[in-house]
A = this chain, B = another copy of it.
Amino acid sequence: MCQLFALSCNVPSAVTFSFTGLSARGGHTGEHADGYGLAFHDDKVCRHFIDEGRASDSALADFLRRHPIRARMVLAHIRKATQGTVQLANCHPFVREWQGRHWSFCHNGDLKGFDPRLTGSYLPVGDTDSERAFCWMLQELRKRFRGNRAPGWQQLAPVIAELAERIAVHGRFNFLLSDGEALYAHASTSLHWLQREHPFGTAHLVDHDLALDLSVANGPDDRMILLATEPLTRNEAWVPFAAGESRVFVAGEPVWRHVPNASRHATVVRAEQVDALIAA
């Protein structure tokens, strides 16, 4: 299974510590050795790094671990190929422009029989189900918001959640999507989130014998959300998404959530546990 990671902050932040843990799963502590990628959003524009090598020991990954690129929004992905061959064109995140902003997308899961009609506004470069889903979502957003320049996340969130549910009938569809302002996340099987804010403690990586005193790296007003397929640290209160849950995060804050009817009850319970965990 691929590994997803995202960071949403209210100030530009580095992901060198988290990426050190995540990339260990790309060939060292994990079997996800079929490429990796990162998208660092700086408002409307995105710096995009993809590589078909192993995240645990490729030269580019090593560069990214050593040279912090500070950004308010970062998406990352470590690939274990399920559909699509091992090649650069199949490395996530995928990036496209819509309405003068770069959108990035990464997916964990596997879709069966998902072959929507793509009219040409966005076409896949590689041959994964993931990029096909991304192209279809952007195509549908473009159709829905035609003539509406710059819809906010408040307008986009329910539409993206609806599109996610339509795709998720085809299989496991855990994904991260961002335009640099908002982070749209959906889980059908596995995704976790964590908020960090003052007072910051010390985080210990799961995949590496490494700890970071977050109070040194962050100021008292800094606030950030981390998302990962599996928790990256072993001493922080990572919260699992419910099955079918969609969430939106902006500037280090959870701002919107939706759980489809079938699993709503379970998630409300979980949300209370979350509040208790955060308050603790």
A residues within 8 Å of B by Cβ? 42-45, 47-51, 59-60, 63, 67, 87-89, 96-97, 99-102, 120-126, 142, 146
Central interface residue in A42, A45, A50, by most chain B CB within 10 Å = A45
Q: Are A59 and B48 in contact (CB under 8 A)?
A: no
- Taking a contact as CB atoms under 8 Å apart, the answer to whether A126 and B89 are in contact is no
* B100 A124 Cβ-Cβ under 8 A: yes
Expressed in whole angstroms, the Cα–Cα distance for A97 and B44 within the complex equals 17
Complex Cα spacing A99 to B125, Å: 8
Which B residues lie within 8 Å of A60 (CB)? 63, 67
Task: Chain B residues near A44: list those with CB within 8 A.
Answer: 89, 125-126
Q: How many copies does the complex hold?
A: 2
Q: Which of B42, B45, B97, B122 contacts A123 (CB 8 A)?
A: B97
Roughly how many angstroms separate A42 CA and B125 CA in the complex, as a whole number?
A: 11
- Whether A99 pairs with B126 at a CB distance below 8 angstroms is no
Q: A100 contacts which of B47, B50, B67, B125 (Cβ < 8 Å)?
A: B125
Smallest Cβ distance from A84 to chain B, in angstroms?
A: 12
CB within 8 Å for A125 and B101 given contacts A43-B89, A59-B67 = yes
The answer to whether A125 and B96 touch across the interface, beta carbons within 8 angstroms, is no
> In the assembly, what is the distance between CA of A67 and CA of B67, in Å?
15
User: A50, A67, A120 — which one has the most chain B CB atoms within 10 A of its CB?
Assistant: A120
Contacting pair B99 A96 (CB below 8 A): no
Return the chain B residue nearest A90 by Cβ. Answer: B45
A89, B125: Cβ atoms closer than 8 Å: no
Cα of A146 to Cα of B119 in the assembled complex, Å = 10
